[in-house]
A = this chain, B = another copy of it.
Amino acid sequence: MFDIEALIETLTENIKELFFKEWINLDLKFSKSEIFTMLLIDKSKEITMSEFAENINVPMSTATGIADRLVKNQYLKRERSEEDRRVVVLKLTDKGSQMVKELKEMISKYLNMVMDDLTDEEKQFLGKIAFKIIDIFKSNREPEVTHDLKKEKIKTIEIE
């Protein structure tokens, strides 16, 4: 165990800077979903709606909305699959690819800004630790949560 109070204190003191400054998003015209969507599609070149929804962990109707916005603003294009005409494939437009390029540059600049302040030894550790943390999250372990904190799954129904 370690000092949770001190940590929470640090967290709350830095809330404003760390969490409400919208992070990667600070002054950009894209939301978190939109940025990840573009990076995701850039990586795989194209993606179906189902794959997309699965990847970002939202229902199809939400995925449609995210894609809609990006298509409307011409960062993505929708195409029907030739093999299965029910399937919609999302691709980056040229404008979208250009944006991804700029996004990557920006992310890179941010990272370098952080990295510049770390020693080589610290950088090495950071790399190792980051992967460990990612693995832990990926392994899907969850601590037990007190009942109160859980979302109510059962709704009351009013009868008149």
Contacts and interface: CB of A to CB of B under 8 A. Distances in A.
A125 B15 CA distance: 22
B36 A19 contact: yes
A110 B137 CA distance: 10
Given A113-B141, A129-B122, A12 B29 contact: no
Main SS class of interface, A:
helix
A142 interface: yes
A26 to B, nearest CB: 7
Contacts of A111: 2, 4, 7
A12 B107 CA distance: 13
Nearest to A95: B148
Given A4-B107, A43-B8, A125-B125, A28 B143 contact: no
